[in-house]
Structure 1
Amino acid sequence: MSGFQFIETKKVAASDVGTLTMEDLRDPTSNLPLDWTRIGQECEDEKDAVRLPIDVVEEDAFDPTDDHLAIIGTSGKKVTKIGGLGAPLKFKIICLRSHLIEKMEGLEGHSETLEELELYDNQVGALEQLEHMPKLTNLDISFNAIRNMASVSNCKLLTTLYIANNKLTSIEGLEELTQLKTLDVGANRLRSMKGIGGLVNLEHLWMGKNKITEISDLQNLKKLRRLDIQSNRLTKVENLENQIDCLEELYLASNGIDDEGLAPETGVLLNFQKLNVLDFSKNQIAKLSHFSHLTSLDELWIAENDVSFFSEVEALTPNNLDCVYLEHNPIAKDHDYRKKLKNLLPSLTQIDANAVGQEGRGMVGGGFSNNGSVAGYGMAAMTDEQRVKVMRILQQQALQKAKVEAEKNSTKPAATTMGPAPPP
């Protein structure tokens, strides 16, 4: 069979099953919003769905001059099989996102032209036919069931590879991919970074949500701008000496890093020239002096750690920070938390998720306290929106006070003007 094979996943009778129109295929995003928070989850409409295979596209249904094919899966229209689309169709870009495809097949005819292939959120179990795609520069095979990635070695022109959320236990096949600039292997089952050492042009590396215990194999990655190893099993930061002149963003949240783990001289103590974003949220750090020398730093995210004293914040004064996240640290319990941070770091324009001087978890210089009540902040200095919020809070507080008083009065014994009851 040529073309694609779909299934109808709605609760319909066989006689009602129709076919996708060319309008559906050419404008796949029209009135078909994706819920990105539920990718990979079964839709309510599909739990008891009747799954009926239907041929919906023949090879003569496409304009032979088209070089871009995009079919986005929705609840009701899912590609299950890629048929053999032969000549004269020569696509440069094929996007089959969020379907039920299990095999990479039927792509042989595009070997001379295919540059971008996206099979995000399918059920592909193995990388196949890549030997027929020597011109491929972009491959997105995330959210599938792939266990071995060695065959990517056939695609020596790859610049972008997304293979996140699969079942990989090791990184293979990258030795000759010297053109690769972006690699995402997050949310797999990796225990080490072995296999990336030859990626001399790599600029962006995502390895979050694995089981990595050590930062390693970065010695040849001298163009690396963004390194993300969040949600792993790291206990220290090291082996970054070859990124001192290139690293701009470092994300190490949700690991087991404490003050001792920041001590190695090949880690954050290096004098990084371009580092502007540093994320150590959800670790065990108490001292901020580790970061005082990073004068290029714009954003420091260190929420949910063990910072207990504002004297630690003073160590950051040389940094000229724009944004700091310190919420859910012991110091964040202080009533004047935001005001003190602003006084210590006057360059701040954002504290936690709120802009300085705007509504949120207490305003710098007054406004709204930690519990949402009105603090000492002049009405004349407020914006119209702030004044409205103040009036609403005052109204709510007055109503609450009246309610409390009413409840107190209702529990008091009824007053009486009668004298004591006569003796029996």
Structure 2
Amino acid sequence: MNTKVLPRKKKEFSKKKKMAGNSEDPNLEGSDDSAEEEQQMMLGEPSIGVGVEQIPPLEIPEMSLDPEAIEIDLTHRRVEKIEGLESLRCVEALCLRQNQIKKLENIGTLTTLTEVDVYDNDITKIENLENLVNLEILDLSYNKIRKIENMETLTNVKKLFLVQNKIPHIEKVTHFQQMTMLELGSNRIRKLQNLDALCNLDSLFVGKNKISKIENLDKLTKLRVLSIQSNRITKLEGLDALKNLEELYISHNGIQTIENLDNNLELTTLDLAGNRISRLQHIVHLIKLEEFWFNDNNLENWRDLDQLNKATSLATVYFERNPIAKDPRYRSKVKMALPKVMQIDATYCQQV
């Protein structure tokens, strides 16, 4: 129960009050109740009594659902159970974000659904979705799911979000041949596997897991974005077949050497921040680079910046918290080495 304490004068403690506090007469100023109230005030605890207004909890009004509605948004409405949706005949998008739902249920009749969002609930199992054959977008992020399962009939899903769950394995995804985006960040995955059938995958996000090796990606020839940040990668490898890769995010790992990017000529963004790399090398051929993030590494040699000279579209570079950044002329030297760059770290060049 929320409480609002009204303004009141600060009470002064005196020997008289302390002595009166030992009296059994409740009418005395220093009675036990008063002493207890004063103690609560000293401890910063709200007291409920004279001068205190109790504010009732916010009541969320009931929502009447239009049977013809195309979109239903029940975000943050303290929903504990999915129910009462059977009347929806045309609904295509159902949003149940930030509620207290523990189970996926009672939506099997909503076969017109193309998008379901139950982000940030208390769901522990993927179930009861087999009838939603038209589903294209499914967001089950920020729940307590431990296994990818029970989605074999959802062959039309294009985007699947399972961020921040408790999933240890990539499994039972071979039927997602239409999928273009798979988001598995912040789970407990240790190995990249069982992805061969995802031939149309455009973007794969597996950051903040426990992956120690880049592998088993050869069949993902349409992959354009790969994010594998904050894992346990120590070697840059396994990317040879990804000739269409445009964005590679592999920051905050344990990589020591830039290598094995010979076939990734389409790269426009390369994020190698937060690794243990001391030299810029083997990237002179990446002439389409627009963004190069290399902060928090061990770069000491200014001449290594020549590796980026042929990237004529390079607009942004990050080198902060490298040894070269300690140079008093750090920004001017970066600009001299890469004259077409428009942003150095978080500062635009016209502000340098």
Counterpart mapping for 1:200-211 below 5 A: 200-211=199-210
**Structure 2 unmatched runs, 5+:** 4-54
Correspondence for 1:68: 71
Give the equivalent residue in structure 2 for 1:83: 83
Within 2, Cα distance between the matches of 1:78 and 1:50? 16
> For 2:169 and 2:130, how far apart are their aligned partners in 1?
21
Segments of 5+ residues of structure 1 without an aligned counterpart are 1-9, 13-48, 364-424
Candidates 254, 257, 268, aligned match of 1:256: 254
Alpha carbons of structure 1 residues 88 and 289: separation in structure 2 relative to 1, 3 Å: closer
In structure 2, the residue matched to 1:162 is 161
2:130 equivalent in structure 1: 131
Amino acid at match of 1:329: N
Q: What amino acid is the match of 2:275? A: N
Superposed structure 1 runs of 4+ greater than 4 Å apart: 49-55
Aligned residue type for 1:122: N
| In structure 1, distance between residues paired with 2:200 and 2:275 | 31
Counterpart of 1:289 in 2: which secondary structure?
coil
Asked if the contact 1:209/1:230 (under 8 Å) is kept, the reply is yes
Instruction: After superposition, give the CA deviation of every residue in 1:154-193 in whole Å (9 maximum; x if it has no partner).
Output: 2110000000100000012211110000000000000001
In the alignment, what sits opposite 2:346?
353
More helix per residue: 1
- CA drift of 1:324 comes to 0.7
The separation in 1 between residues aligned to 2:337 and 2:88, in whole angstroms, is 67
Match of 2:62 in 1: 56
- How far does residue 87 in structure 1 lie from its aligned partner after superposition? 3.1
Distance 1:287 1:55 in 2: 61
Name which of structure 1's ranges 327-336 and 63-72 shifts more when overlaid on structure 2.
63-72
Matches within 5 A, 1:18-417: 56-57=62-63, 61-73=64-76, 77-87=77-87, 89-111=89-111, 113-244=112-243, 246-259=244-257, 262-263=258-259, 267-268=260-261, 270-320=262-312, 321-358=314-351, 363=352
Alignment root-mean-square deviation, CA: 2.0
Conserved 8 A contact 2:239-2:264: no
CA distance in 2, matches of 1:340, 1:54: 59
Q: Using the alignment, how far apart are the partners of 1:271 and 1:298 within structure 2?
A: 17
- Equivalent-residue separation in structure 2 for 1:167 and 1:354 (angstroms): 38
Residues 126 and 344 (structure 1), Cα distance of their counterparts in 2 relative to 1, 3 Å cut:
same
Deviates more, 1:86-95 or 1:328-337: 86-95
Give the aligned residue type for 2:246: E
Say if 1:326 and 1:52 are closer, same or farther in 2 by CA, change over 3 A. closer
Q: Is the 8 A contact 1:81 1:103 kept in 2?
A: yes
Give the TM-score, by structure 2 length.
Answer: 0.81
Aligned amino acid, residue 313 of structure 1: L
CA deviation after TM superposition for structure 1 residue 102, in Å: 0.7
TM superposition shift of 1:55? 9.1
Residues of 2 paired with 1:179 and 1:219: CA distance? Answer: 18
> Shift of residue 53 of structure 1?
10
TM (normalized to structure 1)?
A: 0.68
Post-superposition Cα deviations, 1:300-346, rounded to whole Å, max 9, x if no partner, equal 10100000121111232122321110000000000000001111111
TM-fit CA distance, 1:94: 0.2
Deviation readout 1:20-59 (Å, 9 max, x if unpaired): xxxxxxxxxxxxxxxxxxxxxxxxxxxxx999999934xx
Q: Is the CA contact (8 Å cut-off) linking 1:90 and 1:109 kept in structure 2? A: no
**Contact 2:155–2:176 at 8 Å: present in 1 too?**
yes
Q: Does the Cα contact within 8 Å between 1:84 and 1:107 map onto a contact in 2?
A: no
Deviation per CA, 1:89-108: give whole Å up to 9, x if none. Answer: 44111001111111111212
Do the aligned partners of residues 213 and 108 (structure 1) sit closer, same or farther apart at CA in structure 2, a change above 3 Å counting? same
Output the amino acid matched with 1:233: R
Cα deviation 1:223-255 (Å, max 9, x = unaligned): 1000000000000111111112x1000000000
Q: SS of 2:151's equivalent? A: helix
Partner of 1:396: none
Q: In the TM superposition, what is the alpha-carbon distance from 1:79 to its structure 2 partner?
A: 1.1
**1:387-414 deviations in whole A, cap 9, x for unaligned?**
xxxxxxxxxxxxxxxxxxxxxxxxxxxx
Shift in CA distance, 201/334, structure 1 to aligned 2, threshold 3 Å: same
1:240 partner letter: L
Once the 2 structures are TM-superposed, how far is the Cα of residue 217 of structure 1 from its aligned partner? 1.4
CA contact (8 A) 2:102 2:124 kept: yes
State the 1:152 CA deviation. Answer: 2.3
